[in-house]
Amino acid sequence: MRTARVKYNGIIQTAIVEEGSLRLADGQLLAEENVEWLPPLEPRTVFALGLNYADHARELEFKAPESPLIFLKGRNTFVGHRGQTPRPNGVAFMHYACELTVVIGREGKHIRPEQAYDYVAGYTIANDYAIRDYLENYYRPNLRVKSRDNTTPLGPWLVDVADIPNPLNLYLRTYVNGKLTQEGNTRDMIFDISYLIAYLSEFMTLAPGDIILTGTPEGLVDVQPGDEVVCEIEGIRRLINTIVKE
């Protein structure tokens, strides 16, 4: 099952797909353009991975990391499907990052890798924009790079874990103004989902609503105001976002 959170007539509701339209919790059937899309959940603790695809590490002329490079993001960063993301004035390079996002569904600590998927509620898509001008260290991106308002579109759907039988073999693609600019597969993650859940839960308790952004493959390009960016992950569909002037 796939669910979304939308706002219609000032009311936040859950929505599902029905006959190519959205069926709201109150029974109304609407076109997706007629609602305001919100992130499909309100994230709790947000973990993001740096350099978790070897081809992306090579693209940036870095060696693949020997342990996960994890940083935290503020919840202020998230915006829904069809939302807008500002490009700061005067910056030289801002790029997208199409990422499979894992949503935790059960509380757990000291989770073994073979049990990791028992703690997953489902999956969604994140587009974790970065402003290279502010980047001091690729291994530990600072707040100005990764915690700016509205710089992480999330959604459109939360897809149940049972509906994605193999999350480690999904194609990721990004399009800018209709042109394919990034393509990869989740099988190329350096640290896979079960490893990351076990790693994090060794030293902290994971809880429902925590999310893990699992990194992005190579193929990053600069985006400008007016660009439409579409992140697509097999089985989860397409997350659409527009760049605007700050």
Query: How far apart, in whole angstroms, are the C-alpha atoms of residue 29 and residue 18?
Result: 8
Say what the pTM is.
0.95
pLDDT in tens, the chain (246 residues): 999 999 999 999 999 998 889 999 999 999 999 999 999 999 999 999 988 988 666 666 667 778 898 989 999 999 999 999 999 999 999 999 999 999 999 999 999 999 999 999 999 999 999 988 887 665 566 677 778 999 999 999 999 999 999 999 999 999 999 999 999 999 999 999 999 999 999 999 999 999 999 999 988 999 999 999 999 999 999 999 999 999
Domains and CATH numbers, the chain: 1-38 (2.30.30.370), 41-245 (3.90.850.10)
Q: Are strands 83-87 and 237-245 parallel, antiparallel or unpaired?
A: parallel
At residue 5, the pLDDT reads 98
- pLDDT for 47 equals 96
Q: Six-digit token pair at 47? A: 């973990």
